[in-house]
Amino acid sequence: MTGITTLPLRSAVPVEQTWDLASVYATPADWEAACAELTAQLPQLAAFRGRLAEGPATLLAFLAPMQAAGVLMGKITIYAFNGSSVDTGDQAAAARAGQSRTLMANSAAAVAFFDPELVAIGLDQIDAWIAATPELAFFSHYVDRLRQRQTHVRSSEVEEVLALTGDAFSGPFSVYGMLNNADMSFRPAVASDGTELEVGQASIGALITHPDRAVRRSAWESYADGYLALRNTHAAAFTAGVKQNVFNARVRGHASSLHGSLDPNYIPVEVFHNLIAVFKRHLPTWHRYWRLRRRVLGVESLGVYDIKAPLTGAKPAVSFQQAVEWIAEGMAPLGQDYVDVLRRGCLEQRWVDRALNKGKREGAYSSGSHGTHPFIMMSYQDDLFSLSTLAHELGHSMHSYHTRRTQPFIYGRYGLFLAEVASNFNQAMVRDYLFRTQTERGFQIGLIEEAMSNYHRYFFIMPTLAQFELEAHARAERGAPLSADILNGITADLYAEGYGDEVDFDRPRIGITWAQFGHMYMNFYVYQYATGISAAHALAQPILAGDQAAASRYRDFLKSGGSRYPLETLKLAGVDMTTPEPVEAAFGVLAGLVDRLEALV
């Protein structure tokens, strides 16, 4: 048996593969100084409590320092959490992340009186102030949003208590993060020649796409077994998070946890239920894909670990620099200025932390705030899958970049529903460019594999987990028990429906899938991957057909941030997500990819 292939320590990775957190704060001491500065500002903000009724001048006097404190809090948070994400074993970074969470809760508590006080003054009165005070014109949409949710706003005292729970309520996700990224260990994957390969959050993606089936199988089994070994701890953390969501929904008077998540984002629950209904209706498309994949691989039964197996002898190698170039070419219809910012961010300003190292947290994400450039965390593997992930995260980053340059702080958060549109839009644009320009058969097959892998995650796994999330919350709402066995059973039953008779069903290992996603702590986040990919394809099609007006509308979408309601923003860009048609159309794109693959193989 040959030696094990291991991940390097964080200290050993080249600096050019890491992001530039020093662009936020040069040293931890500078970060500490920023924390002290914000702490000193909080009593000044809290001193406005009870004074807003004095008139528009006082309201205006409060809005400026409130937004400035929000910008400072954003920078503090980004520095702390990004530092911890890339090396979860770094105790100093973990301490900064914890300190940041406490400061975030204290900041929210200091201004918790704001919405209740506006409601008490009367929103019609606030509208009159805005009409009479040009400097307050920007605040109009905030008031309109508050009018939509005012029945769920509680008294200043209750709002302050709820804000203070933010730190304590971060416990389940913090436990999950440390357990998942720092404390869990996995036995090595074993290749058919006996070589051992380290299984970790930074390496699992490459291992389950490995050409050696023994590597894929042993890596997938090891990864699942690592979670199964700690299933009770994972279940306890997740159940605590679910009960917190139920608590918050009830305190604010929402009809359910689902309403408690969607109502504050101005998304009707029918959007969620439409998605699930369309997903179930189109499961035969997935069953057809599983059958095709089994035939092409020449295996008697298709394992979950075969779902991302390469279908050609050689995977296309794609360096980071090449990926940036292809992404830039794919996004060219949005304009040279868009492309220039993207290239500069990736190749000069070190937006992207792409290194593979021990202790790096799972997955990929985009972050940043007013006052910083975007940051992207991922583990780049020199393949089409990593190219696609980079394109996805750059969609988030460019969305945030344009929003923060255009909107004031109060509209800098555009909501999760819109976030997943921009990310999937980039993938659709880049994928179309590569289909048109990289015509070699093996590359085309590899590109379809990547596309199907992306759809598998966003249009199969995420709708499946959305159903799991709905059932888990429903059980908590009616006081039914939640345990590891129950959660695993719910997940296994849902996947059994999704896989049908086409995938070899390892019930215990498939049942623990829910524990492998930090998204389960984000209160009905995952359905938005599927709605996002649907809206993204609808917006990309006219642009790919050369419609310059559609490209201009999309650029306006990126700049809108939270200055309009999400569904209104999408309608202005060109897609109506209140109907099931965009989801139906996206399944049409999926079926077309299966057709294309069948023709090639």
**C-beta of residue 311 within 8 angstroms of C-beta of residue 209:** no
User: Residue 182 has what DSSP assignment?
Assistant: I
One-character DSSP codes across 190-224: E-TTS-EE---TTTHHHHTT-S-HHHHHHHHHHHH
Which residues pair with residue 5 across a beta bridge?
197
Query: Roughly what angle, to the nearest 10 degrees, separates helices 416-437 and 320-330?
Result: 100
Distance CA 115, CA 156 (A): 8
Amino acid occupying residue 517 = F
Which residues pair with residue 353 across a beta bridge?
377
Q: ∠ at Cα 265 (240, 400), nearest 5°?
A: 100
Measuring CA to CA, which residue among 85, 68, 58 is closest to residue 377? 85
393 is catalytic: yes
Which residues pair with residue 365 across a beta bridge?
377
Amino acid occupying residue 308 = K
Please tell me which residue in 362, 393, 420, 471 is annotated as part of the active site: 393
The total number of residues written for the chain in this structure:
601
Query: CA 348 from chain center: how many Å?
Result: 25
CB atoms within 10 A of CB 576: 12
One-character DSSP codes across 422-485: HHHHHHHHHHHHHHHH---HHHHHHHHHHHHHHHHIIIIIHHHHHHHHHHHHHHHHTT----HH
Measuring CA to CA, which residue among 399, 403, 378 is closest to residue 388? 378
User: Residue 298 has what DSSP assignment?
Assistant: T
Q: Which two tokens stand for residue 511?
A: 């049942």
At residue 503, the 3 state secondary structure works out as strand
Q: First and final CA of the chain: distance in angstroms?
A: 35
Catalogue the active-site residues: 393
